[in-house]
Amino acid sequence: MYADAILSVFAQRYKSARETFVDHVETSSVIERVTHLPHPLKGPANEKLYCDIAWAGSPKAEKVLVLVSGLHGVEGGAGSAIQADFVTRYRRLPPDICVILVHAINPWGFAWASRTDEQGIDVNRNFVDFDGTLPKSKATQIWQDLQDGKTDIHTVGQDREQFDLLSEGQYEDATAPYFGGKEASWSRQTIEQLAAQIKPEKRKKVIVVDIHTGLGPYGYGELICDHPVDSQGHHDAVAVFGGTVTEPSLGTSSSGPKLGLHDYFWHSQGDHVCFLTLEFGTFGTPQMLRVLADDQRLQQSGKLDWQDENTLDVKHAMQDFFCPDEKQWKELVLFRGRQVIEMAIDGMTEHANHNAR
């Protein structure tokens, strides 16, 4: 369906994904502004790590679409490909629209094939008020039951209720998955700084699409909306993306209700800000929990040695799960990515016209 040259935007590894993205950005006529934000640590090939942010179209445009990749590190391949593809496809944008590509918001996780950041933080549970009382959940207990052999990964992975409780997020145990941290992560601070530059309060409309992988049916790109059901954000999501929008609070999503989501930060920026997660399925939840548990053990052992065979086995399994090197998966991702971007740009235009009438 797509030629190999088009699919060459995909890369499982941070280093080549970044090179592709930056190359495309540098030769693009639609990009008006680029910033390369250095991360304090390096990658496994001693490469420098950056979150690269490219603004397409006029930075002063009234309507802004923000496309984010790599919040969950290793999941970055799909979003990076969609971003690089966007840069090659668009030569210009409508004058009132700016598209901001946030490449590898958690570059350490992308480079080291981890779902967390360098502190073991699940960045998509990190958006809570750390000065207040941290929320409680049953996630740590379920993880402990898994460690103690009271239940097993296959059972939890197949049981929707158990999996939702495990993945809801927790703020107690840094050695367990879905740990939201004890403070704002580097990635969260970077997002907050970007929002300060965007100044959502001065824009007419802001849509944020955060691209993830691992949940749901193989290759399907689900648009998950965590706005409260009666809110303006939810109304806008449905107006722009139609019946394809799913809602964890209503049980229509492959994702359950969660703590500390990236969503909540953008929800707080105003009623005209609409946030969606674009989640691409791969090989199912039990397999995901298996590769994550192996990686969790590896991280805890403290032996992230890129020359070591066991390390590479675990890391390659992570990359193969979260960004399958399969033509049909890449085609599905790219098709859906293009479609969602087009709907967002059209929707912002039509929606504004509709309001003005």
Residues that bind Zn ion (CB under 5 A): 72, 75, 212
Quote the least distance from Cβ 30 to Zn ion, whole Å.
27
Quote the least distance from Cβ 346 to Zn ion, whole Å.
26
Quote the least distance from Cβ 155 to Zn ion, whole Å.
23
Q: Left, alpha or beta for 230 (phi > 0: left; psi -120 to 50: alpha)?
A: alpha
Q: Do the beta carbons of residue 254 and residue 286 sit within 8 Å?
A: no
User: Which residue, 20 or 254, is less far from Zn ion as judged by CB?
Assistant: 254
Q: Which residue is nearest to Zn ion (CB)?
A: 212
The CA-atom distances, in angstroms, between 108 and each of 20, 45, 79, 170, 266 are 18, 12, 16, 21, 23
- Identify the three-state secondary structure at position 207: strand
Q: Do the beta carbons of residue 341 and residue 211 sit within 8 Å?
A: no
Angle between helices 285-301 and 309-322 (to 10 degrees): 150
Q: Do the beta carbons of residue 152 and residue 94 sit within 8 Å?
A: no
Angle in degrees, CA 241, 271, 198, rounded to 5: 90
Beta bridge partners of 14: none
User: Which residue, 98 or 156, is less far from Zn ion as judged by CB?
Assistant: 156
User: Which residue, 28 or 106, is less far from Zn ion as judged by CB?
Assistant: 106
User: Which residue, 18 or 72, is less far from Zn ion as judged by CB?
Assistant: 72
Q: Do the beta carbons of residue 259 and residue 271 sit within 8 Å?
A: no
Quote the least distance from Cβ 79 to Zn ion, whole Å.
10
Quote the least distance from Cβ 230 to Zn ion, whole Å.
27
User: Which residue, 205 or 212, is less far from Zn ion as judged by CB?
Assistant: 212
Quote the least distance from Cβ 339 to Zn ion, whole Å.
20
Neighbours of 318 (CB within 10 A): 24
User: Which residue, 114 or 137, is less far from Zn ion as judged by CB?
Assistant: 114
